[in-house]
A and B are shown apart, each in its own frame.
Chain A
Amino acid sequence: MKDLLAAIMLSGIYGLLSASFFVAMDAVDVAFTEASVGAGISTLLMLAAITITGHSEDPVRHKPVLAAIVVFITGGMLIYGTLDMPYFGTAQAPVHLHVVPRYITESMQEIGVPNIVTSVLASYRAFDTLGEVVVIFTAGMGVLALLSMVHGPMEKAEFESINDSMHEKYLILRIVTKILIPFILIYALYVQFHGDYGPGGGFQAGVIFAAAIILYAMLFGMRTARRVVNQALVRLIAAFGVLFYGSVGVVSLLNGKNFLDYSALSADPVAGQHLGILLIELGVGFTVASVMVIIFFNFEGRRKKSNTTETKV
């Protein structure tokens, strides 16, 4: 595939298809994440990336025979490995014998949250999730370190994007976007706070929230979006989310329980669990949303910069 745009579109379609087969396998939470992250925001970020790098692949000089051999050997070994695995869906599989029975039978008494996926993700495996949030945070910091630049006085001379909000060329898109953005934001909040009861949670909500802001930035120009979304504030929120998550754990540590054991947060352990899950999902949502915004804004800012230098030369 030489055309990178087509490759990105295909990967987006693949994301959507895999979301639908996750639904078919009853993994609604995973499907939701895949649809919002795999098909939605990562496609968007890759599109932003190829506006910097150009649309077509460099011609390949070497023959990729070696790579093909490696791929075939690894694939063959993986398939050989699956022969040892238990039959798909058997009750005797180790996955179904280790901790899952406890999650299914006792999570309602211990955590009191109807969506077992959320209680596993946010309470039983809270430390892993903290790790994931830190990974996302680190990715955002990496993008900042590599792509951000000092906004000197040159920024002022940046060529004007079409700033008139009722410009004829984008009239329909802008009006529809203005109608839709509040609904997208409300939906993100719904996903955020409904994660205990249905599919959803901080990761998906953060991505949806960021998508609304990115949509605004794409249609109304980066300058307008910069004025709405304060970059320093976004960075602060990204750090705050991780810190918030961690400090919930420290609070339970200080109260004499294990790190991230939310029973310590309230007199009633189940209410404490509920509160803890709500709080850490909030931290996750903060970090994910602001990191996505940071990544997009820095990609786009980079493009503007390279364009201006080109026009100067």
Chain B
Amino acid sequence: MNISSGLFLLVGSFLCVSGGVGVLRFPDFYTRMHAVGVTDTLATAMILIGLMLQMPEGIVVLKLIVILLMTLFISPTASHALANAAMNNNLKPKLNMNEDSKGQTSSNP
């Protein structure tokens, strides 16, 4: 039980960190948002499952499940709202990846 819970927590934290790295390294607004939006949902779910395994009692697990459901709804919706707002304000995604190579820092979105 403890080992599996620790495994879940580790995977969750790894995903969080990789999302953070993605925000720093990716070239433009949409890819950065993608990095966080995708990893965050899964990472939160993983951490919450790990916590559930830490304390398998009725009320705690129930509360954590409610939080899990909430994040499953809210996190993708927030990403969608961000991307939608950026699109409405005519922020174009950077499509031509070959021309600006890694040395060039991207302009701030």
CB of A72 closer than 8 Å to a CB of B = no
Tell me the B63-79 residues at the A interface (CB within 8 Å): 70, 73-74, 77
Is the CB–CB distance between B77 and A173 below 8 Å?
Answer: yes
Is the CB–CB distance between A172 and B77 below 8 Å?
Answer: yes
Is the CB–CB distance between A180 and B80 below 8 Å?
Answer: no
Q: A169 to B74: give the CA distance in the assembly, Å.
A: 18
Is the CB–CB distance between B80 and A172 below 8 Å?
Answer: yes
Q: Number of contacting residues on B, CB 8 A?
A: 7
Is the CB–CB distance between A180 and B81 below 8 Å?
Answer: no
Q: Chain A residues near B73: list those with CB within 8 A.
A: 176, 179-180
Q: A179 to B69: give the CA distance in the assembly, Å.
A: 11
Q: A169 to B80: give the CA distance in the assembly, Å.
A: 11
Q: A180 to B69: give the CA distance in the assembly, Å.
A: 10
CB distance from B41 to the nearest CB of A (A): 14
Q: Chain B residues near A180: list those with CB within 8 A.
A: 70, 73-74
Q: A173 to B81: give the CA distance in the assembly, Å.
A: 7
CB of A183 closer than 8 Å to a CB of B = yes
Is the CB–CB distance between A176 and B77 below 8 Å?
Answer: yes
Tell me the B33-90 residues at the A interface (CB within 8 Å): 70, 73-74, 77, 80-81, 84
Q: A173 to B79: give the CA distance in the assembly, Å.
A: 11
Interface string of A147-184 (1 = CB under 8 A from B): 00000000000000000000001001100100110010
Q: A172 to B82: give the CA distance in the assembly, Å.
A: 12
CB distance from A82 to the nearest CB of B (A): 35
Q: A38 to B17: give the CA distance in the assembly, Å.
A: 26
Q: A245 to B99: give the CA distance in the assembly, Å.
A: 67
Q: A289 to B70: give the CA distance in the assembly, Å.
A: 22
Q: A281 to B94: give the CA distance in the assembly, Å.
A: 53
Q: Chain A residues near B74: list those with CB within 8 A.
A: 176, 180
Which one of B70, B77, B80, B84 contacts A183 once the chains associate, using CB atoms below 8 Å? B70
CB distance from B90 to the nearest CB of A (A): 15
Q: Chain B residues near A183: list those with CB within 8 A.
A: 70
Write the chain B residue with the least CB distance to A219.
B81
Q: A263 to B57: give the CA distance in the assembly, Å.
A: 37
Q: Chain B residues near A176: list those with CB within 8 A.
A: 73-74, 77
Q: A83 to B81: give the CA distance in the assembly, Å.
A: 49
Q: A176 to B76: give the CA distance in the assembly, Å.
A: 10
Q: A176 to B74: give the CA distance in the assembly, Å.
A: 8
CB distance from B66 to the nearest CB of A (A): 8
Write the chain A residue with the least CB distance to B80.
A172
Tell me the A176-195 residues at the B interface (CB within 8 Å): 176, 179-180, 183
Q: A179 to B76: give the CA distance in the assembly, Å.
A: 14
Q: A176 to B80: give the CA distance in the assembly, Å.
A: 11
CB distance from B10 to the nearest CB of A (A): 21
Q: Chain A residues near B77: list those with CB within 8 A.
A: 172-173, 176
CB distance from B9 to the nearest CB of A (A): 18
Q: A300 to B42: give the CA distance in the assembly, Å.
A: 36
Q: A172 to B74: give the CA distance in the assembly, Å.
A: 11
Q: Chain B residues near A179: list those with CB within 8 A.
A: 73
Q: A206 to B81: give the CA distance in the assembly, Å.
A: 26
Is the CB–CB distance between B70 and A173 below 8 Å?
Answer: no
8 contacts between A and B (CB under 8 A): A169-B84, A173-B80, A173-B81, A176-B77, A179-B73, A180-B70, A180-B73, A180-B74
The 10 A-B pairs of least Cβ separation, nearest first, read A176-B77, A172-B80, A176-B73, A173-B81, A172-B77, A180-B73, A173-B77, A179-B73, A183-B70, A180-B74
Given contacts A173-B84, A176-B74, 13 further A-B contacts (CB under 8 A): A169-B84, A172-B77, A172-B80, A173-B77, A173-B80, A173-B81, A176-B73, A176-B77, A179-B73, A180-B70, A180-B73, A180-B74, A183-B70
